[in-house]
Amino acid sequence: MNLLIVHAHHEPQSFVTSMKDLTVRHFEAAGWSVQVSDLYAMDFNPVASPADFGARQNPDYLTYALEQRHNWNGKTLAPDIVAEVEKVQWADLIIFSFPVYWYSLPAILKGWVDRVFISGVCYGGTRIYDKGGLKGKRAMLATSLGGQTHMFGPGAIHGELDTLLKPIHQGMLGYVGLTVLPPFVAYHVPYLKAPEREAIMAQYQAHLNQIDSLQPLRMPSLADYDATMHPLKPVG
């Protein structure tokens, strides 16, 4: 089995980086092949731009998704994108390792999604959700937050974390057909002392130990919608 870790942290001594190192050790010990895309170390370019395409289908007007498809087929897509797409194709499991910035991905990781989840391979037309291009592969977030657990949930100041992560879980990962496992979230990490951090790291190890028995998040199924994506059953 093959694991791709997409890691985005600018501090090599960070807790998230330690979680990433634990992830590597855990899966290598279990006999998996592991690749890490360490986006800061790679100086990964997160900006989707015309420079991503060696041969434009339409040189006069950039429609990014159409050019992704055209340049992938013509083997003229930027080499840094191709390398990441090939890692995604190789992987059985993708773990996203990052600190939550503004209830979303750090820009360097958001740009990895923007540039690497290419139309024609990862999705396209009605090839989304349970018909998505990455169907059969699993994905999971392994992340940290500045906030405390009591700041999230019904009635809590920031609301439910599941809601805040929905654009990532459903809009990015589920959308391309990935089976999305429950995330591991380390709360309040910048403000914790060593023993508390070690306790969270032990919880993360337990999360990894049971990864095959985690219940995936529920995603839309195309079977519930017609060819134009109207719901087959009335909303009620």
Q: Please, what is the minimum distance in Å from the beta carbon of residue 199 to its own copies?
A: 20
Contact call for residue 40 and its own copies (CB under 8 A):
yes
- Is the distance from CB of 147 to CB of 191 less than 8 angstroms? no
Tell which residue, 124, 139, 156, has the closest CA to residue 219.
Answer: 139
Which CB, 99 or 208, lies closer to its own copies? Answer: 99
Q: Residues binding its own copies: what is the number (CB under 8 A)?
A: 61
Give the residue from 31, 34, 27 showing the smallest Cα distance to 209. 27
Residues contacting residue 160 through CB under 8 Å, at least 6 positions apart:
152, 153, 154
The answer to whether 32 contacts its own copies (rule: CB under 8 A) is no
CA gyration radius, the chain: 19
User: Please, which residue, 163 or 209, has the CB nearer to its own copies?
Assistant: 163
Which of 175, 177, 183, 207 binds its own copies (CB under 8 A)? It is 175
The answer to whether 134 touches 176, Cβ cutoff 8 Å, is yes
Residue closer to its own copies by CB (options 122, 140) is 122
Is residue 225 within the footprint of its own copies (CB under 8 A)? yes
Q: Which of 57, 89, 170, 205 binds its own copies (CB under 8 A)?
A: 170
In angstroms, the CA 203 to CA 52 distance is 40
Find the binder of its own copies among 33, 148, 203, 209 (CB under 8 A).
148
61: left (phi over 0), alpha (psi -120 to 50) or beta: beta
Q: Which is nearer to its own copies, 159 or 182 (CB)?
A: 159
- Which residue in 1, 10, 73, 206 binds its own copies (CB under 8 A)? 10
Residue of the chain from 42, 78, 82, 156 that contacts its own copies (CB under 8 A): 156
Q: Which of 27, 34, 71, 111 binds its own copies (CB under 8 A)?
A: 111
Q: List Cα–Cα distances, 202 to 139, 156, 164, 210, in angstroms.
A: 21, 26, 25, 13
Spell out, one character per residue from 61 to 90, where the chain touches its own copies: x when CB under 8 A holds, - when not: xxxxx-------------------------
